Every structure is written in C-alpha cells, then in structure tokens.
Chain A
Amino acid sequence: MTTLYWEEEIETLPRAGLESIQLHRLRRLVARVYAKVEPYRRKMDAAGIRPDDITTLADLQRLPFTYKDDLRDNYPFGLFTVPLEEVVRVHASSGTTGKPTVVGYTKKDIETWADLMARAMTCAGAHKGDIVHNAYGYGLFTGGLGAHYGAERLGAAVIPVSGGNTKRQITIMQDFGSTVLMSTPSYALNLADTMGAMGVDPATLSLRVGIFGAEPWSENMREEVEKKLNIKAVDIYGLSEVIGPGVAMECLNPSGGMHVFEDHFLPEIIDPDTGEVLPSGEIGELVFTTLTKEAFPVIRYRTKDISRLFYETCSCGRTLVRMEKVTGRTDDMLIIRGVNVFPSQVEHVLVGIEGVEPHYQIVVEREGNLDTMQVLVEVSEQIFSDEIRVLENLAKKIQTEIKDLLGVTCTVKLVEPKTIQRSEGKAQRVIDKRRL
C-alpha cells in the first residue's frame, strides 16, 4: 500500500503555521548555540547581535554565515553543542583538501534523521514491503547509514549492499527482487552498463524507482538512467554538515523541484559574492540553518550548492518550499580563461548527442599563461565508425556545442571504452592540473 505522506500534517501545513514553528525553533536554536559554542558566540558578538534580537524570521539575515573552514578550524568536535557522552554517532566528509569535516549526532538526532529519510523515501513512493537496495557507501560518508536507517524506519527491507562489487550487486538485485535503488546517479549508470555487459535486461528486474543524490546530475542524465534501468529516477538532497541525505526530496510529481524539509532546515538563497539574501525565485547559493539538530547544529551554513527556491504549493499537496535540482557548486565551478564552467554543463552537451555515453572527464591544464580544457569522451559502439572522418566530425561537433554553450574552446579526445574510471561513489569529473 502506498502512503502519500509520512507526516501529513507538517508536510501540508499552510505557510503561516510553518513559519510560526520555524521562528519558535530558530529562537531556541540561536539561544542554545550562543550559550554553548564559543566560536559561534564570538562571531555573533563581533557582528553585534544577541539571541534576543531574533524576533522574526527575517532577523536570520543578521546572523553571521558559517563556512566549511569554520568546521575545519574547530576540528574535530569544536562546534558540538553537547558533551561527547551524549553523542552516539559521528560522520565525516572525505575532505579532498586538508582535514575532513566532522559532524556528530545525539540519539534524538539519529531518530530525527531516520524520520526525515523515511519522509523522503515516501515522497518517492517507497513504502513498507519495498526491498531497498542501498548502494550508497557505508562508513564515514552519511549516505549509506542515512538511507539505511530511513529505509528501516519506513518498514522496508533494506539490503545494505554499499558501493562496489557491481556484478554481485546485479545478481543480488535479480535474486532478492530489489524494488528501490539508492545510490549516486553515476553509480546507477555504472550498474546499467554492467547489466548490459552481463546480458541482464533491466526490464526483467523488479526495480521501480531510484533515489539518487550526493552529486549534481543533469536532467539529461536522469533520462538516461530512467531509460537504461527502466525505472523512475528521483533526486534527493543533503549534505553531512546539515544532517546528511534527507534535507530535501523530489516527489513523483512532474512539476519538479525537491521539497525542503523546512520544519527542520531553514533555507535561504544568497548572492555568493555579496552574501545578500536574494528574492524568492532567483538563482544563488543555498544556505541552511538547522532548526532541530542537537549535537551539531549549523547557523547559515554556506553549502556552495547553486539552486533556487520556489514557494508555490506542489500538486502533490505538500506546502514545503521546493528547491531546484542543484546544477553545480560554487566550488566545482572551473574558471577557464575567465569563463565559469560547471562539469554538469559539459555533461548536458554530451548526453544530448546521440549515442554518446555520459562517461567523461574534464582535464584542465595551463600552458604558459593559457588555460586549456580537454574533454575525454569514451567511444561506444553506437558512435564508433570505421571512417576517421566520422569520428573526427563527432569530436568537432562536441567541441562546437561546448563552445556554443559555455563560450570556451576545448579539445575533445576520444578514448577507448572503460578507460575513464567508473564511479564507485562520487564520480571524479574534473582533473585540474593547474598550479594556481
């Protein structure tokens, strides 16, 4: 039986009611953080604002931002608001540069998170009785355990298969009858390709829906995954600094966007350069304040994710604000000869060309004072030809379309299949060899 909502009352609450809950929780949060965490207190004092000054939701804008660097500077537990004996779990981000960022959860945080993940999965039509194939990595990464606890809370049967060992995963899908796939979108494509190589027809599997997140992906990639795996693909949003997956979730309604669970996470869209809050509907950097977290709350955390908020009620009945699919990050944005380039834009071009697989890598180098961008594209059977001219024309077409869309000239290198490393989690799309 499919239930429409997990917590119907809060998910369909009129805005006035929701805002009153948000304000109450915000005031309580700011008071607690100010009292307990020295780095936050110092920042607020420097900005000349005290907890009592927060009397409306708009006063949120007066609070200082929290950056990833603040988390690093207070490594590992400096921003926790509770003593360690109340912490029951820690997670950490991989930390590609410098120290990882560490987050903690109380028992109640873990319960809240499980409920939010169950809420998210319900959005995607998952229910008790489903067999959830959880291919998010288990470990310090929040994806695996976050999805796991949510699926259990939902009452589904969860297969904690984690990432990797792709052929075995497909056998498990066949034998166990997995109905819901949870993974990164790039790993879903890897699964689809491996099925192809194994001669497994996705139509013979029981998979119905895929809940994909943890990396930006384009609409074209969604179509590709849906077609190749014969499922509905929906987007889940989250980040460990806020809680992990389960911050926002797409419903099955085609009008699009992810419902932000704003009774727990207060979103803002700001201009990443000036820090100004942008009017509703404008594109900018997403900022979150956690309203209910105990061990590791954040105030105005700069996600570096680029999105847009829209407040119209969804036809699914949820009143929760929706955020647009994240199309890029302010930090995976490459600046090539002064032009901003997002890997997702390159992907958009590639999957738009008939037969081209979205297995690609962008290599950026600097020759003299000039940045060069090379796009590696795998030659699949669909695009291969015995004629040099046809392949050269294809490379030229990709080059032209990238130039048209991005305004950057790149070189396109055709490579043999499977030479670009397959995603076992987050795909590495960019290799930046510049020493800036």
Chain B
Amino acid sequence: MRVEQIAVFLENKSGRLAEITAILADNDINIRALSVADTADFGILRLIVDKVELAKQVLKANGFTVGKTNVLAVEVPDRTGGLATVLKSIHEARLNVEYMYAFVNKTGENAVLIFRFEEMDKAIASLQEAGFTLLTGEQICAL
C-alpha cells in the first residue's frame, strides 16, 4: 500500500528545479506528482515518478543528494469536502501528519492525497478501516 517517493535536497539557487526536471525528461521519466518544501536556505523537492530507481540513479549521478521514502496515496472523490473527510478521520485516529500534498487525476473525477505519517503502519490500518482507497505506485502511474 506504500508508494515510493524520492526526495532531493535543493539549495535555494536559481535554475535547480529546471535542471532536475530536464534530467528526468532526458531519461524519459514521468513525474506524477511533486511538491517543494522550502526554508530560507534550502528546499526539499518531493517527487512521485514512474521509474523510481532510475530517477534516483540519474539524479545521484548528476551530483544531487537523493533519498527514498514511503508515503501513502489516498484517493478521494474530487468534490467539496473530499479532503476534509480524510483529515477528520486522520485526526480522530490521532495520526501525526509530517507533510502532505495533492493532485487531481486526468479524468478529474478523483483527487489523490499524498501523506507522510510519523507512524505509517498505524495510518494504513486506520485509513483502510475507515474505508478509504489507498493507491499503489503502479496505480498512480496508471492514472
């Protein structure tokens, strides 16, 4: 149920993001979702891609610091209150969210919420129990 996400360390320097996306494009790697978290000095780019190992390898070869972590992808109907129902359930289960981001799939029917929890196992169990659909990496790439 876990989805592999890669994270890249970025100094706040112009052109870095463009450089990374160009490297991925050159290697025919498709980005499904991304988010950038930043502070005054540095940023962390988080990516969900179709070829995780290759992406990690080519970015490393280009001198970037790359990490791989597991996140959860929750599919919800793309309508008002979709996110709220998930967050309510997370709150009731007393789960701590480290970070999250979201995207809407091509058909526009569903939204996918990406979560990083402190306790991943507990999160999987509670979300499934509450009836939410968790997507796998392959499913995300197939959307």
Residues of A within 8 A of B (CB): 379-381, 384-389, 391-392, 413-419
Contact = CB atoms under 8 A, between A and B. Distances in A.
15 contacts: A379-B65, A381-B66, A381-B67, A384-B7, A385-B67, A386-B44, A387-B99, A388-B39, A388-B44, A389-B98, A391-B9, A414-B11, A416-B10, A416-B64, A419-B11
Given A391-B44, A413-B41, A386 B63 contact: no
Nearest to B42: A414
Interface in B64-110: 64-67, 69, 98-99
Interface residues of B, number: 20
Contact of B63 (A385, A389, A417): A417
A346 to B, nearest CB: 18
Interface of B: 5, 7, 9-11, 37, 39, 41-42, 44, 46, 63-67, 69, 98-99, 116
A88 to B, nearest CB: 46
A408 to B, nearest CB: 19
A395 to B, nearest CB: 8
Nearest to B63: A418
Contact of A386 (B5, B11, B42, B64): B5
Given A416-B9, A416-B10, A384 B39 contact: no
Contact of B9 (A384, A392, A413): A384
Say whether chain A's binding surface is mostly helix, strand, loop, or mixed.
loop
Nearest to A385: B67
Contact of B65 (A381, A387, A389, A413): A381
A94 B11 CA distance: 33
A381 B63 CA distance: 11
Contacts of B99: 387-388
A413 B5 CA distance: 25
A381 B68 CA distance: 10
A380 B67 contact: no
Nearest to A419: B11
B98 A414 contact: no
Nearest to B68: A386
A391 B39 CA distance: 10
A421 to B, nearest CB: 14
Contacts of A389: 98
Contacts of B98: 387, 389
Contacts of B44: 385-388, 391
A419 to B, nearest CB: 7
Given A379-B65, A416-B64, A418-B63, 13 more contacts: A380-B65, A381-B66, A384-B7, A386-B5, A386-B67, A386-B69, A386-B116, A387-B116, A388-B99, A392-B39, A413-B41, A413-B42, A414-B42
B142 to A, nearest CB: 24
Contacts of B69: 386
A48 B5 CA distance: 78
A93 B124 CA distance: 65
A379 B64 CA distance: 9
A414 B116 contact: no
B65 A386 contact: no
Contacts of B66: 381, 384
A384 B46 contact: no
Nearest to B16: A416
Contacts of B64: 416-417
A392 B98 CA distance: 14
Q: Which 3 pairs of residues, A with B, have the shortest CB-CB distance? A: A386-B7, A384-B65, A386-B69
Contacts of B7: 384-386
A380 B65 CA distance: 6
Contacts of A392: 39
Contact of A379 (B5, B9, B39): B9
Nearest to A381: B65
A47 to B, nearest CB: 55
B37 A416 contact: no
